[in-house]
Amino acid sequence: MSSANGRIIEGNNLEVLATLPDESVTLIYIDPPFNTGREQSRSKVTSVLAADDSTKGLVGFKGKSYERTRSDLMKYDDRFDDYWAFLEPRLREAWRLLADDGTLYLHLDYREAHYAKVMLDALFGRDSFINELIWAYDYGAKAKGRWPAKHDTILVYVKNPKNYYFNSEEVDREPYMAPGLVTAEKAAKGKLPTDVWWHTIVSPTGKEKTGYPTQKPEGILRRIVQASSREGDTVLDFFAGSGTTGAVAAALGRNFILIDQNPEALAVMRSRFAPLEGAVRFE
């Protein structure tokens, strides 16, 4: 890891986010540990709170206002209501914290991605939607009664669709699937990734493994950090888990802020960032 200015903050992420200054980070990556599959007992629609100044005037799904989008969807799906109640205040904070040229990467599985897409369209605006990235892998059990689910979704939104930072030339290239169809020079250089990323999960026996159950591979985070931040920029992950976002940011010369309240996650990060003692502080 290269020198870095890192903060690892223990606490409720929503409370901690409120203490950070406006437009202070260039890149936010989050992988929320939330599952909408649990049973719902709600029998009536939750009342809708008025929008604050950060969402007034935003136009979202099908040109509707932010508040109307939320209200309409809550009428039809309690699961959406429940998911919104969890993620919405955190995504509002993400929007506030992003610099004008900043980018949000929201990492989800197939069960939550559609809810979050509508939510972000309403909150950030559909013009701010840049990509739906598909991370495909092939590991673990295979379903027999349906197509096996072997991908995650990463939704990419920017603060300002006319002024966001993205540098594909900094991204590690990947081999051509049919190198014989391109020149030898192109085959040697490799190709830029598309919006479908084939990458193995963290190997249970590999050196990258920390033992944290939801750890994501450094290769996925490396591509994100390379493309959407510069050296010296600040990267934020407020569902930090094993700290992969910070480890990659530090290796690439970015500052980082990690937030988590899980004692297991904090123990893993203390061990993982021990080589950066003096450059990373725990709060």
Q: What's the pTM value of the predicted model, to 2 decimals?
A: 0.86
Q: Is the pLDDT reported for residue 226 higher than 90?
A: yes
The pLDDT of 196-211, averaged and rounded, is 80
**Would you state the torsion angle of the CA atoms of residues 116, 117, 118, 124, taken in this order, to the nearest 10 degrees?**
100
Give the pLDDT band of residue 109 (cuts 50, 70, 90).
Answer: confident
d(CA 82, CA 38): 10
Q: Is the CB of residue 156 less than 8 Å from the CB of residue 133? A: yes
* Ranges 28-42, 103-117, 126-140, 227-241: which has the least confidence: 28-42
- The average pLDDT across 80-108 equals 90
What integer pLDDT is reported at residue 74 of this predicted model? 59
Per-residue confidence band for 86, with pLDDT thresholds at 50, 70 and 90: confident
Q: Can you give the pLDDT at residue 41?
A: 36
Residue of 191, 193, 186 whose CA lies nearest to 226: 193
User: What is the pLDDT, as a whole number, of residue 39?
Assistant: 40
Confirm if 276 and 1 have CB atoms less than 8 A apart: yes
Mean residue pLDDT across the chain = 84
Domain boundaries 6-282, corresponding CATH code: 3.40.50.150
- The residues near 28 (Cβ < 8 Å, ≥ 6 apart) are 94, 97, 98, 102, 103, 104, 105, 235, 236, 237, 238
Residue 20's pLDDT band (boundaries 50, 70, 90)? Answer: very high
Residue 237 has pLDDT above 90, yes or no: yes
Chain segment 141-186, per-residue pLDDT in tens: 778 898 888 899 999 999 999 999 999 999 999 998 888 899 999 9
Mean pLDDT of 98-121: 91
- Residue 139's pLDDT is 76
| Token digits of residue 264 | 């297991």
